[in-house]
Amino acid sequence: MIDGVSTALNTSVEYATNSKSDLDKDSFLKLMIAQLQNQDPLEPMDGSDYSAQLAQFSSLEQLQNINDSLNMSLDANYLLTQSITNTMTAGLIGKEVKIAGDTVKYEGQDETIIGYNLIAPAHEVEINIYDSNNVKVKTFDDLELEAGQYKLNWDFTDNDGNKVNVGDYRVEIKAKNLGLTPMEVAQYFVGIIDGVRFSPNGTSLVVNDLEYSISDVFEVLEGSQSSNVTEETTEEEAELEDEEDKSYLDPPIRLKDDDIFSNKL
């Protein structure tokens, strides 16, 4: 009879171990109680073994509490980091950014700005745009050849002047140096950050009516709108300064004797 109980206990313990590899403290405590209830009365559990199991139970509980504390700390740090990121990202509105990649999604927006960088003078530069079926829809070949950074506006029209269909379009830039050897050209997209959107999946930037992840942005520049405002303000201040400087040219005001006499009275 005792052997049957022991066999049943071993089977239940083995089943529990196979079904749940990571035992929590509650499962560990239930197993220990079941072992005490089903022990052999003629050969009870040794006190030292019982103390060792209690020590293991205590260690397991402490480790689980430490794990819970670490998880809570990680969650708090993540929320704090996300809050700081959201605050700093909101300050990027109006800034011009460079977005890594060679594919743009057309969803009805007016245009997109293609940026590229020539590290050396080129003999020829050609930009081809392909749709999702790898069909060429647009070609630009009358481009600058000197070394430098350039921008190209594409209004989402094909070579015939018709608007392309909604979808993804891949930009390919080919260039040859003065020795007619193919050269590397860094390409990207350029746009002004119009807004910031927050979601459970993270923070995204709205550029040219499209959403981009912060990780897609590799350079932030000053927005063109803010620079124009600065120039206009500077011109107004200069005009005011000119008027103040010319004030000394006005003729002096002369008072008549009657005015002086009346003031004394």
Residue 196: how many other CB atoms lie within 10 Å:
17
| Percent of the chain as helix, strand, coil, to the nearest 5 | 40, 30, 30
d(CA 74, CA 251): 75
Report yes or no: 175 and 122 within 8 Å, Cβ to Cβ.
yes
Statement: residue 34 has pLDDT above 60:
yes
d(CA 114, CA 140): 11
Alpha carbon separation from 138 to 61, 93, 95, 103, 171 (Å, rounded):
66, 31, 29, 14, 9
Residue 215: band (very low, low, confident or very high) from pLDDT cuts 50, 70, 90? confident
Q: Which residue has the tokens 């390409």?
A: 187
- Cite the residue boundaries of each domain of the chain with CATH code 2.60.40.4070: 96-220
- Tell me what pLDDT residue 82 has: 63
Could you tell me which residue, 109 or 28, shows the higher pLDDT? 109
Q: Which CATH class is domain 96-220?
A: mainly beta
Statement: residue 85 has pLDDT above 80:
no
Compute φ and ψ for 101, nearest 5 degrees: 130, 165
The answer, as to whether pTM is greater than 0.85, is: no
Statement: residue 65 has pLDDT above 70:
yes
d(CA 169, CA 220): 24
